[in-house]
Amino acid sequence: MNDGLVKILDGNTFVVSDERGDIEASLTDPTGLFSFDTRFLSRWVLTLNGQRLNPLSVDDLQYFETRFFLVPGTGTVYIDAKLSVIRRRAVGNGFHEELTILNHDEKPVNLTTRVEAGSDFADLFEVKDALEKKGRYSTRVDDGKLLLGYVRDTFERATVVSASEPARVTRNGLSFRVEIEPHGEWTTDLDVAAVLPGLPGARGRPKYGRGSRRARPNMSESLEQWVEEAPRVECDWDSLRTTYRRSLVDLAALRFSPPVARGQSLPAAGLPWFMTMFGRDSIFTSLQALPFTPALAATTLRALGEWQGSRIDDFRDEDPGRILHEMRYGEMAAFEERPHSPYYGCADATPLYVVLLDEYERWTGDTKLVRELEFEARAALAWIDDYADLLGNGYIWYQRRNEETGLENQCWKDSWDSISYRDGRLPGFPRATCELQGYAYDAKVRGARLARIAWKDPELADRLESEAAALKRRFNRDFWVEDGGYFALALDTEGNQVDCLASNNGHLLWSGIVDKSKAASVASHLLGRRLFSGWGVRTLAEGEGRYNPIGYHVGTVWPFDNSFIAWGLRRYGFKDEAAQIAAGILDAAEFFDGRLPEAFGGYERILTKYPVQYPTACSPQAWSTGAPLLLLRTMLGLEPQGDHLVVDPALPQTLGHLEVLDIPGRWGRMDAFGRGRVQVESRRAHARRR
């Protein structure tokens, strides 16, 4: 399943090209060299004697490096080609490209090799919305380098293009006069640097040494080290091992270092549109990855705490204590044409911040960070009652205050039509979606624990526990759909139930807000025909008014969503049901070469035989990358209890054995084992301290 685009990335910088390695971006086309939300290269086209090249193959060497094998010609069949071309490209603060031309003939060859270069310096929002620029462009040649620039008041961006071999540099690119002996080769190194004056942490030069035929990024943490430090997975399912490896590599690729993080990394949301810090996405991904790479959670907590809301700002939907939704560094945010500097328009990241802080401490025992972030956590807990309860009835509600560019729906299903009644009508605002109440409940319970163990404030702990218990009673009364046996998607302003059946019910199990007497009914719906496609749980049940198997939040299957649903089922003791969801999602991963997309079609599995790709899904996408990690935790039943790791496996029927080795935590390093019914009738497991 290939969209015909080649993507390489290194945290803050990524390149999207065609299969020739060429970039020919239109204003609405997400191809080019991007860094910190600006496109620094919109044209990069290679020709030999004025002729375009054709691709033979593309080798994805690493997430930050790829190699294009090309030949000249205008047709699609190549017979006895006399020339071939290799473009080896690696990204990092721009990119480095090693261009090699091979002469396979007995005769020498003379060539004019040209690379056309240009930049529109489009803001990522301008690419998405086809908006025009307002600043001034400049192009000049200086000391054998092509300098492309853009200025609007104090906002400046520049691209510097240079080569290791002598070139004729013009305003439109670089040309080389090349003579290659029989069976010889010619090589030049091309460097493209993204320059961002005034942005801390954004360097204006590539990460490469010059003149090296084997140039590599000087990564602060190599991919090999990243993978080696993660737990090792052994099992009798080859596809699962492939998916796990792909998840680790993609998670490494999506590491984003915001200026406030002081060189540390957190998960960016996804390529191509969301290579930046997202409150909700970074928190969910950090939760998924905790048993495998807990350092991501620590950076996420610190960075989000640094940008926590401190005032009332209607343009940014900011409140004191509120955790940001999205942070952007481009031109439109700089000139307040978009509120993303940062934008706070989400209602779930704030309670989830407390959830992540507690879960991080449970895994790592790092009470020092909990004490360090006490102010931020207390402010987040206060936001739930002081600012999120818009109607004064004890629930989290949301309504955007920025009517022009703010998000209508400020829950994770943030598309315009995601919240509806059974008949498809849309409720008014404000809205109180069900999972927000679950997150608030969980945050209060976990906040009480932190108040006792780290902040030494038993009065706060008692109050939070009392509030959580009252919220749970109220929620199970007001949101329960009696004639359906599930929880309503939301409440409207009159207190009526927005009565769609949706996957949000699984998040309620994960949060623990569901009464035990209602859990079995919820679980049966999640695995029932209307919600479960065979590949996973749909975002909206079949038969609802707005159901559409390829609708963004109204019928597609989201791997991230399913990973938390499975975790919630495990919390309430539904081990086999959780394993069934894990099996479906991991089966789907095999069809995507181990890289789960943001979403895929909600069609019945028996109908399609394979998961149907959603056309505009991000790939890679952080919380989809994290989904297999959380599913591994769920299948093995990994839960920290004090200084011990409890293992309680329940594997899918197709999985005979599963081992996750060297799991980091407050216990040091431990191994977890599980056996399924393929090999033995009863499951057994144990954990071993290393």
Q: What is the CATH number of the domain that holds 316?
A: 1.50.10.10
Smallest Cα–Cα separation from 412: which of 290, 502, 531, 329? 502
Q: Which two tokens stand for residue 605?
A: 């599995």
Q: How far is residue 137's CA from residue 130's CA, in Å, rounded to a whole number?
A: 18
Looking at the fold, whether 150 and 283 belong to one and the same domain comes out as: no
Cβ partners under 8 Å of residue 543, min gap 6: 530
Looking at the fold, whether 60 and 204 belong to one and the same domain comes out as: yes
Buried b (16+ CB within 10 A) or exposed e, 301-339: bbbbbebbbeeebeebbbbebbbbbbbbbbbbbbbebbb
The residue type found at 615 is P
Looking at the fold, whether 287 and 180 belong to one and the same domain comes out as: no
Residues in the chain: 690
Q: What is the structure's pLDDT at 686?
A: 45
- Measured in whole angstroms, how far is the alpha carbon of residue 77 from the centre of its chain? 39
- Assign residue 470 a region (left: φ > 0; alpha: ψ between -120 and 50; beta: otherwise): alpha
The residue type found at 655 is L
Looking at 30-135, which runs of residues are DSSP E strands? Answer: 32-35, 38-41, 43-48, 51-62, 65-72, 83-91, 94-103, 109-118
Q: How far is residue 355's CA from residue 372's CA, in Å, rounded to a whole number?
A: 16
Q: What is the structure's pLDDT at 620?
A: 83
Cβ partners under 8 Å of residue 165, min gap 6: 176, 187, 188, 189
Phi (first) and psi of residue 687, to 5 degrees: -120, 145
In a domain, 607, yes or no: no
In a domain, 457, yes or no: yes
CA 549-553-556 angle, to 5 degrees, is: 30
Looking at the fold, whether 167 and 316 belong to one and the same domain comes out as: no
Provide the 3-class DSSP secondary structure of residue 546: coil
Smallest Cα–Cα separation from 640: which of 297, 356, 362, 448? 362
Residues of the chain with pLDDT under 50: 1-2, 209-221, 679-690
Looking at the fold, whether 160 and 288 belong to one and the same domain comes out as: no
In a domain, 562, yes or no: no
**Of 472, 500, 528, the domain-final residue:** 500
Phi (first) and psi of residue 564, to 5 degrees: -75, -30
Smallest Cα–Cα separation from 120: which of 222, 241, 247, 30? 30
Q: Which two tokens stand for residue 642?
A: 């004090």
Phi (first) and psi of residue 81, to 5 degrees: -65, 135
Strand-pair partners of 161? 146, 192
Q: How far is residue 499's CA from residue 419's CA, in Å, rounded to a whole number?
A: 10
**Of 456, 485, 500, the domain-final residue:** 500
CA distances from 348 to 79, 83, 284, 301, 398 (A): 59, 56, 11, 15, 10
Give the residue numbers spanning the domain of 449. Answer: 278-500
**Of 458, 481, 500, the domain-final residue:** 500
In a domain, 270, yes or no: no
In a domain, 123, yes or no: yes
In a domain, 473, yes or no: yes
Q: What is the structure's pLDDT at 132?
A: 79
Q: How far is residue 626's CA from residue 638's CA, in Å, rounded to a whole number?
A: 16
Looking at the fold, whether 326 and 404 belong to one and the same domain comes out as: yes
Q: How far is residue 687's CA from residue 683's CA, in Å, rounded to a whole number?
A: 14
CA distances from 553 to 348, 383, 410, 426, 608 (A): 17, 27, 13, 14, 20
Looking at the fold, whether 60 and 154 belong to one and the same domain comes out as: yes
Smallest Cα–Cα separation from 201: which of 154, 160, 260, 121? 260
In a domain, 118, yes or no: yes
In a domain, 651, yes or no: no
Looking at the fold, whether 187 and 290 belong to one and the same domain comes out as: no
pLDDT in tens, 507-526: 999 999 999 999 999 999 99
C-alpha gyration radius of the chain: 26
Q: How far is residue 445's CA from residue 462's CA, in Å, rounded to a whole number?
A: 10
Q: Is there a contact between 17 and 31 (Cβ–Cβ < 8 Å)? A: yes
Tell me which residue has tokens 């997430």.
63
Tell me which residue has tokens 């402010």.
379
CA distances from 322 to 265, 309, 342 (A): 22, 5, 11
CA dihedral 288, 290, 295, 297 (to 10 degrees): 60
Cβ partners under 8 Å of residue 27, min gap 6: 120, 122, 126, 127, 130, 131
Q: How far is residue 504's CA from residue 526's CA, in Å, rounded to a whole number?
A: 10
Looking at the fold, whether 285 and 199 belong to one and the same domain comes out as: no
Provide the 3-class DSSP secondary structure of residue 577: helix
The residue type found at 97 is E
Looking at the fold, whether 136 and 285 belong to one and the same domain comes out as: no
Report the number of distinct structural domains present in the chain. Answer: 2
CATH of the domain at 42: 2.70.98.40
Q: Are strands 432-433 and 109-118 parallel, antiparallel or unpaired?
A: unpaired
Looking at the fold, whether 205 and 290 belong to one and the same domain comes out as: no
Q: How far is residue 556's CA from residue 151's CA, in Å, rounded to a whole number?
A: 42
Smallest Cα–Cα separation from 513: which of 666, 351, 359? 351
Looking at the fold, whether 196 and 291 belong to one and the same domain comes out as: no
pLDDT in tens, 606-663: 998 899 988 777 778 899 999 999 999 999 999 999 999 999 999 998 899 999 999 9
